[in-house]
Amino acid sequence: MELGKQIKKYRNNISLSQEQLAERIFVSRQTISNWENDKNYPDIKSLLLLSEVFEVSLDDLVKGDLEEMKNQINDKDISKFRKLSNILAVCFALIILTFVPLIKLLEVIGVIIWVAEYAITLFFSFKAEHFKKQHNIQTYREITAFMNGENIDNIKKIQETAKRPYQKIFCAVGAGFVTLIVLVIMFYIMY
């Protein structure tokens, strides 16, 4: 994290010792040392006092930390989305590939198993859609940029937002067409 470095830099810029800074913001010298060594972080009141003493905005004081925290959150979100995408891909493959064999081999029990597979797939589909809405990613370009940890500039974001309705229709029709082809092939193989 950068906050400790920022505090030390600004403290040195105005030629204050840790003890002098501690007196100005009503904490101990050890507390200043802990902040500068990233052992802990100042509370909001102390951050406000630090920004006043250093004559910098709160944003400038904590900017490096915010960027790093944002990247850590993004890494967690990217990992979560990849895992969810993999589960969803396996579920879709299962419902497509097992439909005809289950019905042909197990009849009514096969239908029940397939409906259970379908329900699980639907559950993960809703989770994926919720995640995409939460992070405002819908189009292929937005999802790809998110997975790579990149941001899309505002103009491209507006363009991608305009594409969303068309891409959803295209994806739905494409998925239906692929499913139909696989089912026809499997039906032909089984019978």
Where residue 77 falls among pLDDT bands split at 50, 70, 90? confident
The CATH superfamily of 3-56 is lambda repressor-like DNA-binding domains (1.10.260.40)
Q: What is the mean pLDDT of residues 67-95?
A: 81
- Cβ neighbours, 10 Å, residue 102: 20
pLDDT in tens, 28-67: 999 999 999 888 888 888 888 998 999 888 877 776 555 5
CA atoms within 13 A on the CB side of 1: 20
Residue 166 predicted with pLDDT over 80: no
Distances in whole angstroms, Cα of residue 155 to Cα of each of 56, 101, 134, 141, 160: 32, 48, 20, 13, 9
- What is the per-residue DSSP string for 97-135? HSHHHHHHHHHHHHHHHHHHHHHHHHHHHHHHHHHHHHT
- CB-based burial of residue 56 (10 Å sphere; 0-12 exposed, 13-18 middle, 19+ buried)? middle
Q: What is the mean pLDDT of residues 63-86?
A: 72
Residue 68 has what pLDDT?
54
Q: Name the DSSP class of 42.
A: -
Where residue 176 falls among pLDDT bands split at 50, 70, 90? confident
| The pair of three-digit structure tokens given for residue 113, joined into one six-digit string | 């198993």
Residue with tokens 């289950």: 102
Distances in whole angstroms, Cα of residue 151 to Cα of each of 88, 92, 104, 142, 155: 24, 29, 48, 8, 12
In three-state form (DSSP H/G/I as H, E/B as E, the rest C), the secondary structure along 28-96 is CHHHHHHHHCCCCCCCHHHHHHHHHHHCCCHHHHHHHHHHHHHHHHHHHHHHHHHHHHHHHHHHHHHHH
Where residue 73 falls among pLDDT bands split at 50, 70, 90? low
| 187/191 Cα distance (integer angstroms) | 6
Residue 87 has what pLDDT?
95
Residue 144 predicted with pLDDT over 90: no
Q: Which of 74-83, 84-93, 139-148 shows the lowest mean pLDDT across its residues?
A: 139-148
Residue 99 has what pLDDT?
87
Where do the domains of the chain lie? Answer: 3-56, 74-190
pTM of the model: 0.53
First to last CA, the chain: 63
